[in-house]
Structure 1
Amino acid sequence: MAKNLDLEKIKAQSRGLRGRLVASLENDTTGAVHPEDTAITKFHGIYQQDNRESRRQRREARLEPDYRFMIRVRVPGGVASPQQWSALNETAYQHGGGSLRLTTRQAVQFHGVTKEDLPDLMRRLDAVLMDSLAGCGDVNRNVMCHVQPEAGPLHAETSRIAREISTHLTPRTDAWREIWVDGDKVDTKEIEPAPDPLYGRTYLPRKFKIGIALPPINDVDVYSQDIGLIAIERNGGLIGFNVLAGGGLGCSQGDPNTFPRLAESLGFVRTEDVVAVCEAIVTVQRDYGDRENRRHARFKYTVDDRGIEWLAKEVATRSGVTLDHPIPVAFNGNGDRFGWHKAVDERYQRTVFVEGGRLTGETREALARIVRDYSEDVRITPNHNVILSGIRPSDCESVDTRLRDAGLDDESVSVRQRHSMACVAFPTCGLAMAESERYLPTLLASIDEIAVRHGIGDVPMTIRMSGCPNGCSRPYLGEIGFVGRAPGRYNMYLGAAFDGSRLNRIHRENIDEPTILEIIDQLFAAFAQNRAVDEAFGDYLIRSGTISATVHGSETNELRGD
């Protein structure tokens, strides 16, 4: 508890998220920043990390850890211009070790950046009107939005609203520009800026996430969001949103008081009222969220403890907006749609599969050239893939050829690979207990072989892997989910809904690959023989009694019914 209270003190005394960052950057005796500044850098979209695989060697050589930084660039709604994509690609080459990582929140991450390279990287972002402010930290983070350019004006309107919400909820501080772009020596100034008009001096108790979905596609996993917004369309126009509240997927190993949770319906609001309602919900969490126990500080616990009816009354009072009854909607999946799709302007979009969300080397460069030559914009999907949009019909064949030459052709990618997701995990994430991004492709190849052998090779399934229980890859919404316990060992979860509307439940604890594949073989054999027509794998597992349906997130880690 003391550590959490200290963090609240650090935020309160940060002078508008400035901390001691300038002095930390100027200290050339270490590759790290001051320990207290690691809390402040997160608000700037920066995580201090080190290469875990070199720790022992460096310790034996009496060297400090190989400190590097991860920078998370916000991309509200996941949409970037060709100029911005070109800058991201060039920055990856210059400062990111040649790697560009697309995230499950439609953002972009650079890994392995040295402390001395941070200012140049930030200036490169600023030059194309991008930044990393609020990429991390106890504030609202990147606002997600469905990626369906073929929806035309409806997509354009929801994308605009995602940017508007993002701008409205971004901390009001000049610290990011002062430190990273303008280079002012703010550490030497005797300033005490006014509290942030929305967040105050201590910001939120924990991170906060918002996503916009457009039925029938739930690509943003709208039920996993602190605020989920479901766009409601009538006669081709946007009339408003069903508002969901209280979702979140992280939990702590061995702590039953922490659990994933799906958002509940708060009501329907008109388009013009959605920003005010989002602000009201954020201020409720600011005022009522737990600031003593960070494991209990997420908004989902505030809603779970106090109830959705209480929240609805608070939001109505704070926003002055009447929440109406939600409008019935239906989703049919939460994956990406691959291949070509025609937009209303007669141009086309092409979804490109990116394994693990990681673009490196010549593949990264080739994609940047394709974007430059053909694409109107780039859309990062919530499943860490890429959509090239605005492609002229006459260019589709050329784009396919160049994607194939770059190794980005998805014809050989299985339906399970297309519906898979992994977090970064080793070697940089300090929370990882097991591999994820580097290992999932190998495991999927074996799972695909089993599926083909049982005659279900063409049946899509959501398979997600996380290196720890925090759930960055949303593993608790996978029909098959894996959560790392130790190197080479995972908890296995089963039974989520294919459309992202039901959590899964733990099936086996702390198992290795041979055990995983043995279980998969048995499950796929039974599924192939007994499934109903068009029945999803997760639904079959529930119907057959293989796993019990999770009604409340606290049941996700309860072993029973298997």
Structure 2
Amino acid sequence: MVKSAPPPIANRKPSKVEGLKENSNFLREPVATQILEDTTHFSEDAVQILKFHGSYQQDNRDNRVKGQEKDYQFMLRTKNPGGFVPPQLYLALDKLADEYGNHTLRATTRQGFQLHGILKKNLKTAIATIVKNLGSTLGACGDINRNVMAPPVPFKNRPDYEYAWEYAQNIADLLSPQTGAYYEIWLDGEKAISAEESPEVKAARQRNGNGTIIHDTEEPIYGTHYMPRKFKVCVTVPGDNSVDLYSQDLSLVIITNESGQLEGFNVFAGGGLGRTHGKEETFARLADAICYVAKDDVYDLVKAIVATQRDYGDRTDRRHARLKYLINDWGVDKFRAKVEEYFGKPVAPFQELPEFKYQDFLGWHEQGDGKLFLGISIDNGRVKDEGSFQLKTALREIVEQFNLPIRLTPHQNLIFCDIEPNNKQAIQEILNQRGVVSDPGQIEPLVRYAMACPALPTCGLAITESERAIPGILERIRSLLDKLGLQDEHFVVRMTGCPNGCARPYMAELGFVGSAPDTYQLWLGGSPDQTRLAQPYTERLHHNDIESFLEPIFVYFQKSKQSGESFGDFCDRVGFDAIREFAGNYVPEATPEITEDTQAQVTALVAKIITAPSRGRHRISIHDDVYNKLKETAGSQNKPMSELVNEALRIYLKMD
């Protein structure tokens, strides 16, 4: 019999979290006790176990006041294999956001939804509502298999895509926690009606593949300690990298024969992006090609890889606990040999694959069965109503009227599936009335391909802004590109408020990673198809210096890029030494001075700015007419809006 405790590591104690998991009675305590207490928050020990149930304890950092209790609130994350959200669940989430949350939903980079702003007293009601409406939050967070990703596009005439969805769901079921804690705590022991598991999955979970199973326990795959850290899986088809497959712990690629029948899977393992500033032993890493596995053996191979990480992953240092570090330390050959021990036989060689490309599937498309699908861009995944832009209302109206299923995308967007062609016009009219763009050609390309994590004010790990900062930064980058004659250029920009990399900035062509307040580490050279890691170019770039820092890099790109070459590919080809040499010798061209008339115009506009101080920082908002005029003036002067505002403010405040 295999023990449920992981093998000891000589002379090193397991981390504190390992003890909390072991003593939790399979994720029950201390959450079960503390949810009954009339308090605003959980203890730190309970917070670690609460994550397994799909919730993070947070506080609104904008509202922190010294000497007062934090403004505690909870984030709930749903688990939706392949991004599938049935209409009933979407409407329940939309209602929960208004009744108990902050009136927004947020599509995640792992194809789930997040609810923000839920109070502890409402947490049980919110989770119970999600489960009773065909959803779940179990295992969306914590040291466990997270949401299993798959390409979101509903091509009904492509068997390989159908297989990807099927196996994403089956692997999610296989690796789902079996403890009864979730239903005991949140539904008083009532197990909700859910889709029936595949008999193959049930059999595979109990099959003892040379030590993959732990007997006589509630958790036959995980045991009492679960995984050393989070474990991320995706299933995709050859050529489709909408899932960022190289960033996953485990990626399966569907292999079919000429008739479209499933034969097996290519297997990648060891990807992961989280790291820590100043800790060189932590790093982003691409997944390696491991092997090929026949379809009949895929569940046993998945279990073998999970068991290898479960039993040999580092449980003493949580910064060194992901599968990527185990494979990096061992090497692929040693890792493959250990997997084969659990698998019980040698694995087959990896099969040749075509190049992987990124697609976002926005706009109207035929899905191959006579029906349509519609991909809608959601800036940074935030579903909200704001002025004349009423995305949240539009999505609710469409789901209510047409009962459409949804697939969330790994790029924080949303796809409506199974649309009857005769409903296209009515759906388009709802979007038009609510100010929602459905034509991807009308979306600024920098915005279309960008992603940012939530960061401040809700994330406790955020060092600086991300979601709230990226719209302005993208606009400044576009203004700079336009100024330099690069109007037709765009590239993948991603931003995170800390180095954990939740928006996958290390795969971007231009990545901003929070390193200090208002300051970012800058990464360059990722692939537009997210198949190559970017590299750190500078450690600290203050947001005020973005234009002056990027200008020489963009000018070098303009002068030296090859035909059709993307910005990320250019940076990777020429190398950082050449970029730094050019930037060091770069002398910007003189810009035309602002005329007295223009200065007077802008000064008058600046006088209409409304200041809106908040605790800990000062922010400003501008009337729409001021913004539009400022943008027009900035364009006529070939200057970024931020530079023009700063100049006008200095004049207005008599600082010069």
TM-score (norm 1): 0.91
Query: Helix, strand or coil: the match of 2:520?
Result: strand
After the TM superposition, which of the residue ranges 305-314 and 137-146 deviates more from structure 2? Answer: 305-314
**SS of residue paired to 1:485:** strand
* Equivalent position of 2:16 in the other structure: 6
**1:151, 1:309 → 2: CA distance?**
38
Q: Which residue of 1 aligns with 2:81?
A: 76
Greater shift after overlay, 397-406 or 339-348? Answer: 397-406
Residues 273, 321 of structure 1: 8 Å contact kept: no
Give the equivalent residue in structure 1 for 2:473.
443
Name the structure 2 match of 1:136: 141
Partner residue in 2 for 1:479: 509
Residue 415 of structure 1 and its aligned partner are, at CA, apart by: 1.5
Shift of 1:512: 1.5
CA contact (8 A) 2:239 2:357 kept: yes
Residue 628 of structure 2 corresponds to none
1:500 counterpart = 2:530: yes
Match of 1:198 among 202, 212, 221: 221
Structure 2, unaligned runs of 5 or more = 1-10, 191-215, 580-585, 587-656
Please name the residue that 2:301 is paired with: 277
Aligned AA for 1:413? I
Instruction: Give the secondary structure class of the aligned counterpart of 2:170.
Output: helix
Quick one: which of 149, 155, 171 aligns to 1:165?
A: 171
For 2:410 and 2:577, locate their aligned partners in 1 and report how far apart those are by CA, in whole Å. 27
> Who is 1:470 aligned against?
500
Task: Give distance in 2, aligned partners of 1:392 and 1:207.
Answer: 40
Identity %: 38
In the other structure, the counterpart of 2:238 is: 215
Q: Any residues of structure 2 matched to 1:105-120 within 5 Å, and which?
A: 105-120=110-125
Residue deviations 1:18-62, cap 9 Å, x none? Answer: 01223212221x301122111110110111111112112xx34xx
Instruction: Write the deviation string for residues 381-420 of structure 1: whole angstroms up to 9, x where unpaired.
Output: 0010001111222222332332232232055321121111
RMSD: 2.2
Q: Counterpart of 1:394?
A: 422
Pairwise CA distance, 1:314: 1.8
Classify 1:244/1:238 alpha carbon distance in 2 versus 1 (closer, same or farther; 3 Å): same
Query: What is aligned with 1:39?
Result: 48
Displacement, 1:287? 0.4
* Equivalence map 1:514-529=2 (5 Å): 514-529=544-559
Map of 1:533 onto structure 2: 563
Q: Partner amino acid for 1:122?
A: I
Please name the residue that 1:558 is paired with: none
Deviation of residue 252 (structure 1)? 0.8
Distance in 1 separating the partners of 2:525 and 2:140: 32
- Residue 272 of structure 2 corresponds to residue 248 of structure 1: yes
Compared CA separation, residues 471 and 3, structure 1 to 2 (3 A) = farther
Report the Cα distance in structure 2 between the residues aligned to 1:259 and 1:101, rounded to whole angstroms.
27
- Quick one: structure 1 residues 547 and 240, their matched pair in 2 at CA, closer, same or farther if it must change by over 3 Å? farther
Displacement after TM superposition at 1:322 (Å): 4.1
Q: 1:367 aligns with which of 395, 399, 424?
A: 395
| Alignment of 1:342 onto 2:363 | no
1:226 aligns with 249
1:50 equivalent among 59, 84, 90: 59
Unaligned runs of 5+ in 1: 185-192, 550-561
Q: Quick one: distance in 2 between partners of 1:326 and 1:460?
A: 35
CA distance, structure 2, for counterparts of residue 195 and residue 86 of structure 1: 33
Stretch of structure 1 that moved more, 119-128 or 326-335: 326-335
Output the CA distance in 2 between the equivalents of 1:455 and 1:270.
Answer: 52
Which residue is 1:408 aligned to?
436
Structure 1, residues 98-136: CA drift from partner, whole Å, max 9, x if none? Answer: 110110011111111101101111111111221111111
CA apart distance, 1:510? 1.1
Could you tell me which residue of structure 2 aligns to residue 190 of structure 1?
none
Partners of 2:247 and 2:272 within 8 A in 1: yes
Say if 2:86 and 2:134, in contact at 8 Å, map to a contact too. Answer: no
Cα distance in 2 for residues equivalent to 1:70 and 1:315: 36
Distance in 2 of aligned mates of 1:527 and 1:238:
44
Match of 1:356 in 2: 380
Give matches, 1:173-184, under 5 Å: 173-182=179-188
Look up the SS of the partner of 1:69 in the other structure.
Answer: strand
Q: Return the offset for 1:239.
A: 2.6
Equivalent of 1:123 in 120, 128, 131: 128
* TM-score, with length taken from structure 2: 0.78
CA deviation profile, 1:454-495 (whole Å, cap 9, x unmatched):
444444411100100000000100000000012211010000
- Report how far residue 219 of structure 1 moved: 1.1
- In the TM superposition, residue 335 of structure 1 has moved relative to its aligned partner by 4.3
Distance 1:456 1:313 in 2: 50
In the TM superposition, residue 4 of structure 1 has moved relative to its aligned partner by 5.7
The size of the alignment, in residue pairs, is: 538
400-409 vs 68-77, which moves further: 400-409
Call closer, same or farther: CA 1:251–1:128 in 2, change over 3 Å: same
Query: Structure 2 CA distance, aligned partners of 1:239 and 1:454?
Result: 51
Cα distance change of structure 1 residues 149 and 489 upon mapping to structure 2, 3 Å threshold: same
Equivalent in 104, 107, 110 of residue 109 of structure 2: 104
Partner Cα distance (2:93, 2:531) in 1:
34
Q: Distance in 1 between matches of 2:126 and 2:110?
A: 21
Structure 2 CA distance for partners of 1:536 and 1:375, relative to 1, 3 Å: farther
The Cα shift of 1:74 comes to 0.5
Q: After alignment, is 103-112 or 401-410 more displaced?
A: 401-410
**Aligned-partner SS, 1:36:** helix
Shift of 1:213: 2.3
* Cα pair 2:15 2:318 within 8 Å, conserved: no
Deviations 1:428-467 (A, max 9, x none): 1010001001111111111122233444444441110010
For the pair 1:325 / 2:349, whether they are aligned, the reply is yes
Mean CA deviation greater in 82-91 or 97-106: 82-91
More deviation, 157-166/207-216:
207-216
Distance 2:235 2:548 in 1: 38
8 A Cα contact 2:250 2:269, kept in partner: yes
Aligned to 1:555: none
